[in-house]
Amino acid sequence: MSRKQIERDFKELYQEKNQKSILDNYYKEKKKSIILVFMAGMFLSLLLFYSDYQKLQPGEGNRILRKEETGASEQIKLQVKREEEEWEEIEFDLRARQWTRQELEEAFVKMTEELEGHILGENSSLDQVKTDLSFVTELAGYPFVLSWESMEPELIDNTGKLQEKILKEITPVSILMKASYYDWQEEYLFYITLPKTEESDWITGLREYLIRGEENTREEGTFYLPKSFQGKEISWKFQGKSSGIYVPLITLILMAVVWQEKDREIRKKTERKRQELIRDYPGFISRLVLYLGTGISIKESFFRIQQEYEEEEHSYLKEEISYACNQMKNGQGEQKVYEDLGRRCKTAEYRKLAALLIQQREKGSYHLLTQLKKEMEAANEEQYKRLKRQGEEMGTKLLLPMMMLLGMVMALIMLPALLSF
């Protein structure tokens, strides 16, 4: 919304003597809200950037803490860079710290969690196995203990983990599944196909080096990434992007929304004032006709009406009449006061009233009274039509809930009858 529109709304909402200070305070509050949103967004963005940076960096000395879960392994996704080279992606599995026999016995007694899964894992077909398969040891609802044996362990081990080997052609592999229950046992053979490997020899060699190092340190709680490989220093970082990059964009959107929402509030307040002035117009005309009928002047009638409004609750018409009376008390001419009243109220009814007061003031109160009575009848008729339209609109809005209630009542009546057949 433009600044000129905001200024016009303020002129309509507030009296002239207060407009500038209120408008200045309004823009100060808007700027303060925008600054708070901006600062909060930037603070959150910095926190996310810092948090993600810490997550993407290996620990001191290139260390990675192993998990403490029994039998679990973690797939580590890293980015590695040789001296004066570009970053490259690499993945390998880091097994959990190997538990002692006592720990395994205690964990076995406490184990209650069910293991679920299926052999495909994240693959779409056994004819194109690109990621690890899921070899479960138990299946919910069955008493069997499942075990798996790979016919090609150098390609895929008995847990379903793909080994880091370069495959120059599509390779078929057989997997034997054994289901046992006490001394009962049954076997089933699965056939899978591994695709060709697509990666550089350097990454393959580095992965094999990591795997050997990982196997030799499984009893240690920390795994250290190498600082050099094949005579060159390398750098590491975890794969992923910082989510903090989206916060500035969201912050800008929120700032724009807050800015526009403030303007929309003023526009809504202006519309409420106009509706309220239109609603109170017939009552104001009736009072004005009543006082003019007793022979009181227009000016004195305004003062009497102001005194009546002092005992009532706050309203926009009360403010406008009080402001008009204060203008006349300060020596402002009646014609100018009536013109200002019609200009501030911004509705056809009050502009017409101002024109009548100005035109008929010099002709005498009799002619004015006749015109105002006609205006009062027209205002009451228009008020009746407006209330009727509002009632029709309200009835239309209630139509859908009423139909829903009718449907519920019919269902409650007919359901027992249908169930009795």
pLDDT at 1: 63
Q: Are strands 228-229 and 145-150 parallel, antiparallel or unpaired?
A: unpaired
Taking each continuous run of H as one helix and of E as one strand, the counts in the chain are 10, 9
- Read off the pLDDT of residues 228-243 as tens digits, 9 standing for 90 and up: 888 888 888 877 666 6
Q: What is the DSSP string of 241-254?
A: --GGGGHHHHHHHH
Q: Rounded mean pLDDT of the chain?
A: 77
- Read off the pLDDT of residues 117-141 as tens digits, 9 standing for 90 and up: 467 778 777 787 778 888 777 655 5
Q: Are strands 88-95 and 145-150 parallel, antiparallel or unpaired?
A: unpaired
User: Residue 406's pLDDT band (boundaries 50, 70, 90)?
Assistant: confident
For the cut 50, the answer to whether the pLDDT of residue 5 exceeds it is: yes
Query: Domain limits of the chain?
Result: 114-195, 252-396
User: Is the pTM above the cut of 0.85?
Assistant: no
User: Residue 286 corresponds to which amino acid?
Assistant: S
- Residues above pLDDT 70, as percent of the chain: 77
- Read off the pLDDT of residues 137-186 as tens digits, 9 standing for 90 and up: 765 555 456 677 888 888 888 888 887 666 667 778 887 776 664 555 67
**CATH topology for 114-195?**
Immunoglobulin-like (2.60.40)
**What angle is formed at CA 162 by the lines to CA 160 and CA 168, rounded to 5 degrees?**
140
- Read off the pLDDT of residues 314-330 as tens digits, 9 standing for 90 and up: 788 888 888 889 989 98
Q: What is the DSSP string of 326-344?
A: HHHHTT--HHHHHHHHHHH
3-class SS at 54? helix
For the cut 80, the answer to whether the pLDDT of residue 290 exceeds it is: yes
pLDDT at 241: 67
